[in-house]
Amino acid sequence: MKKIHAKVRYKYVAPIRKHLYVARPVRYSLIPHADIVQFIAEVGCMTRAQAAAAAEAYEEAVRAYLCQGHSVDLGALGILRFSCHIDATEERSQLGKECVGVRRVLYRPSDSLRRALQEVEVEFDDADA
């Protein structure tokens, strides 16, 4: 079974005015793009250059579709979709570019990924308790 560690802290939680034990998963590291390309090359039985080209083409396709307003199905990983905040106005004629605020990509994990994550064991580190 896969495991992740969670750091435990005893801290003051202002909204409820109490000290509580709070646990957060430890973030191990950011896996570099080059490591992902190497993994693809090994698993896909291809050269590193072929894997890099495939990864670059995939990234370009995802970017292009998102920028056109499409949702992108990432297979067993889930779905990415474009979203943005648009201010409401009293008149239709007041809507324009200046009403468009933060643009972002939203991610929805697939059911199979959610199930896999539910099986990950969380181990609590009591070093700060």
Judged by average pLDDT, the poorest of 60-64, 76-80, 90-94, 110-114 is: 90-94
Query: Residue ranges of the domains in the chain?
Result: 71-89+96-115
Looking at every residue in the chain, the average pLDDT score rounds to 92
Place of tokens 């979203």: 83
Residue 6 has a pLDDT of 92
Beta-bridge mates of residue 10: 21
pTM of the model: 0.74
Do residues 26 and 128 lie in contact, with contact meaning Cβ atoms separated by under 8 Å?
Answer: no
Mean pLDDT of all residues in 12-25: 92
Mean pLDDT of all residues in 106-129: 88
Cα separation values, 88 from 47, 82, 99, Å? 51, 19, 8
Cα 7–Cα 13–Cα 14 angle in degrees, nearest 5 = 150
Q: Predicted confidence band at 3 (pLDDT cuts at 50, 70, 90)?
A: confident
Q: C-alpha 11: how far from its chain's center?
A: 27
Q: What does the pLDDT look like over 39-79, one tens digit per residue?
A: 999 999 999 999 999 999 999 999 999 999 999 999 999 99
The secondary structure of residue 91, as a DSSP letter, is S
Rounded Cα distance between 10 and 97, Å, is: 46
